[in-house]
Every structure is written in C-alpha cells, then in structure tokens.
Amino acid sequence: MRNWEAGEVKIFDYKSETEVTVDRIVKPEEEYGKQLPADVFRIVREQGTETPFSGKYVDHRQKGIYRCVVCGTDLFLSDAKFESGTGWPSFSQPVSPLNILEESDMSGGMVRTEVRCARCGSHLGHVFDDGPKPTGMRYCMNSAALAFEGIP
Ligand SMILES: [Zn+2]
C-alpha cells in the first residue's frame, strides 16, 4: 500500500462520542485479497472506481452510519448523505475529519483529492468542492468501500 506504515492514529468513535487512539492496520495485500471479495479489493486496495449507479448505497436512504468495509472505522452519517445525481453515494462531511485522510491524486490525467480510511489506508473515493452548503463539499464514495448499519 502506498504511503502506509505502522503507527497510532486518533479517530472519533461515534457510539461513545469520544476520540480513541488505535493502531493503524498494516497487513500484506495478499491477506486483504483473501479477506475481501474481488470487486471490493479492486476498489479499496487498488484505487478502483465502481460503475456509476451500480453501487448498493446510491439510493440508500435509511438512517444510520456508514463504516469502512475493511476495518469498521466510522466514516459518514446518513444525515450527511445527499442526492448528487452522480451515481455514487455522496456525503457533505465525514463523521470526523480524524477518520479520513485526504491526499492529492494525480492519476487518470486529473488532479483530484483522494479520500482514504485513516485507520487502514483503504481507498474510499474522492472529495470535490461542489457540494451543498454549508460545507460545500461532496465526498463521492464507492458503495463497495462502505458497510452500513442502521441506527433507530
Ligand atoms: Zn478502514
């Protein structure tokens, strides 16, 4: 994995509403290959992008939380989800800025900002500055990178 080494990271835990310090997850890619379905692996470990309108969370409107499919880190609340029309699940902000990493991504002949999980480094999607107010941000995620849990 690019730019990834062992160490501690502080993330926000939604259920306990506290910041917790955890170890970064560092594993050989072969292990992820065994752990994850091939289509998920291609996206989260090889910076893939799912086909628009193909993901299971594009039109998903239940109340709850979206976590990293690989390590379970809290990423986005349903309250921050909005209809972007792009074909990918879109959010106006993360649960906490602590829980994601934003890195410059020059791949594909474009300058974009990649979004990665702060705990395991997995690729989640990209963030753009054309989102709704008040944040103005559009976190454009791959459904395959997320695991949803409903909150009553
Ligand atoms: Zn993760």
What pLDDT is stored for residue 147 in this prediction?
98
| Spatial CA neighbour of 146 closest among 43, 62, 63, 61 | 43
What pLDDT is stored for residue 117 in this prediction?
98
Burial 4-41 (b: 16+ CB within 10 A, else e): eeeeebebbebeeeeeeeeebbeeeeeebeeebeeebb
> Ligand 1 centre from 51 Cα, in Å?
21
- At the topology level, CATH places domain 8-150 in 2.170.150
pTM above the 0.75 mark? yes
> Ligand 1 centre from 110 Cα, in Å?
25
What pLDDT is stored for residue 1 in this prediction?
64
What pLDDT is stored for residue 108 in this prediction?
82
What pLDDT is stored for residue 37 in this prediction?
97
The alpha carbon of residue 44 and the mean position of all alpha carbons in its chain are separated, in whole angstroms, by 9
Active-site residue numbers? 140
> Ligand 1 centre from 106 Cα, in Å?
22
Encode the chain (152 residues) as per-residue pLDDT tens digits: 678 999 999 999 999 999 999 999 999 999 999 999 999 999 999 999 999 999 999 999 999 999 999 999 999 999 999 999 999 999 999 999 999 999 999 988 899 999 999 999 999 999 999 999 999 999 999 999 999 999 98
> Ligand 1 centre from 53 Cα, in Å?
23
Question: What residues does each domain of the chain span?
Answer: 8-150
| 35-63 pLDDT, tens digit each | 999 999 999 999 999 999 999 999 999 99
